[in-house]
Chains A and B, each alone.
Chain A
Amino acid sequence: MKLRLTKIAIFLAALIPLARLVWKYLHDGLGANPIEFITHATGDSTLILILATLSITPLRRITRQYWLIGVRRMVGLFAFFYGTLHFLTYIWLDKFFDIHEMLKDIAKRPFITIGFSAFVLMIPLALTSTAGSIRRLGGKNWQRLHRLIYFTGILAIVHYAWLVKADLRKPIEYGVVLSILLLYRVGVWASEKISEKRKQPAIPAPAASRTEATKA
């Protein structure tokens, strides 16, 4: 019940950025350069949702609310949804489906190349987001594949930082959040390694030395 309500709430919340764009479009609120506005708004939403997806694991561990795993797929798919809208604005409103121009752009413009890569890396994740895929791939493989989101996150922030002229504050803010989320994982991984190592010598060690250790 808690999960269902949370899911409904998140579903509605994730639609707010889109609703805001539609409302602004209908009320002449997109400003002097609507296409730029839409491009930036969908880009921002994608990045925020990628960060939100990445924050679910730390959040459920820290708060011990393990049921939160149940919302991760939806948040991730919304990140992909806004990423798709962002990509569509580019190919439609910026390039007008001129494939030749697009390929030139992707090859020549580092920030486009990187943004495009970030988007492409999300596709397999969206395609294998079903329970069936987890079964078919096996949990370990599935998890390995879905670590691609780390790279999507990094590339998306480089993409952002690379397109601004001088004011790096926003990409840096996003970058700091991503760094914290990734460092958390490094920390968890490192502490698991350490506890594994501690366990290993404990098995062959004779009982005497263990009692000595407790004395000391």
Chain B
Amino acid sequence: MLIRKAAAIPSSEITPKAIYLNRRNFLAGAAIAGAAAVTGVALRDLAAPALTAHANTKIEGLQKSSFSTTEKETPYKDVTTYNNFYEFSTDKEGPSDLAKNFKTRPWTVTIDGEVKKKQVLDVDAIMKMAAPEERIYRHRCVEGWSIVVPWVGFSLSELIKRADPLPKAKFVEFTTLNDPKQMPGQRISVLKWPYVEGLRMDEAMHPLTLLCFGLYGEVLPNQNGAPLRMVIPWKYGFKSAKSIVRIRFTGDQPMNTWQQAAASEYGFYSNVNPNVDHPRWSQAKERRLGEFTKRSTLMFNGYDQVASLYSGMDLKKNF
């Protein structure tokens, strides 16, 4: 019996990589041109998203941080496809797709309120205020799941010091961009937009409190709160405002969006606390993404160094 071996393809017939890549570019170009011809959209506009997509850009000169955990990092894919970002969608799988063309440049942040240097800062200027650090933090969602993320940023205190708050400033309030055109989730009044979060001044000044603009060594993907977000690792995730356009210093405690939505369920502090349950579900345990069994939730998400901020406070009342 004769079994013929499949003839090896002579290397002369293999298309060189450069050419087939070119061909792909050509096809993509043709497709764009075709689409433009049909829809009447200028080619320039179609090409624009590629120019404004900053994600996947490496951040140079990353410093290590002693605050980093050595726990296993949650895979990049999970961190960037499982997102609670209601401005785009209430489905966790939604934002990674819906935020694809979100414009993060030009982007300015207004610093105002009880502060000496009221100003409007460009996000690129903010990113250069201090050396970027990689901080591998545990991140616990109020829903009962957790991840470990290598964030990039520096302590918020760096920005606060430069803004020079007045003695009257007792709280810091963060406001997320309000742009229903770009953020489809804002077309539905699931929450009151824009999203507002806040911290007490001493919480905001704590070195763990991170002003974040990257993860996994790269510029923050849009769905993770680009271009600038907060990361407060001892609080439930919703305390960490995303896509920030305003940082306001106030004398009064800000009304944060989730507290406004359901004051009996979400407080101003929202510290991770296994002993204080959400009225509808337990906070004693959490599911670390990628793990099969649940693990016990730690007080302050394991960041005991913040305990002194709350000494003498009844954390059951001030949940």
Contact = CB atoms under 8 A, between A and B. Distances in A.
Interface string B84-97: 00100010110000
Given A96-B293, A165-B143, A166-B191, A35 B287 contact: yes
A33 B289 contact: yes
Interface string B272-301: 000001001110000101100110000000
B81 interface: yes
A163 B280 CA distance: 7
B284 to A, nearest CB: 9
Interface in A23-80: 31-33, 35-36
Interface stretch (A105-113, A134-142, A187-195, A201-209): A105-113
Given A166-B86, A166-B190, A167-B190, A31 B281 contact: no
Interface string A154-183: 000000001101110100000000000000
Contacts of B281: 109, 111, 163
A174 to B, nearest CB: 16
A109 B282 CA distance: 8
Interface residues of A, number: 18
Interface string A96-117: 1000000001001111000000
Given A165-B143, A166-B90, A167-B190, A32 B78 contact: yes
B82 interface: yes
Contacts of B41: none
B106 to A, nearest CB: 31
Interface in B63-84: 74, 77-78, 81-82
A152 B261 CA distance: 29
A22 to B, nearest CB: 18
Contact of B145 (A33, A109, A111, A163): A33
A105 B81 contact: no
Given A32-B82, A166-B261, A167-B190, A109 B280 contact: yes
B73 to A, nearest CB: 13
A103 to B, nearest CB: 13
Given A96-B293, A163-B280, A166-B86, A36 B145 contact: yes
B287 A33 contact: yes
Interface string B141-171: 0010100000000000000000000000000
A165 B265 CA distance: 10
A167 B91 CA distance: 10
A31 B282 contact: no
Given A109-B282, A163-B280, A167-B90, A32 B81 contact: yes
B259 to A, nearest CB: 12
B280 A111 contact: yes
Contacts of A162: 280
A110 B143 CA distance: 16
A27 B294 CA distance: 24
Interface in B163-198: 188, 190-191
Nearest to A164: B90
A163 B142 CA distance: 13
A111 B93 CA distance: 24
Contacts of B74: 32
A124 to B, nearest CB: 28
Contacts of A31: 81-82, 92-93
Nearest to A28: B77
Contacts of B282: 105, 108-109
A59 B261 CA distance: 40
A96 B291 CA distance: 13
Chain B CB within 10 Å — which of A35, A94, A111, A166 has the most? A166
B292 to A, nearest CB: 8
A166 B84 CA distance: 12
Contacts of B277: 108
Given A108-B277, A109-B281, A167-B90, 5 more contacts: A32-B78, A32-B290, A96-B294, A163-B281, A166-B90
Interface of A: 31-33, 35-36, 94, 96, 105, 108-111, 162-163, 165-167, 169
Q: Which 9 A-B pairs have the closest CB atoms?
A: A32-B82, A32-B78, A167-B90, A167-B190, A166-B190, A32-B289, A166-B261, A33-B289, A111-B280
21 contacts: A31-B81, A32-B74, A32-B81, A32-B82, A32-B289, A33-B82, A33-B289, A35-B287, A36-B287, A94-B294, A96-B294, A105-B282, A109-B281, A111-B280, A111-B281, A162-B280, A163-B280, A163-B281, A165-B143, A166-B190, A167-B86
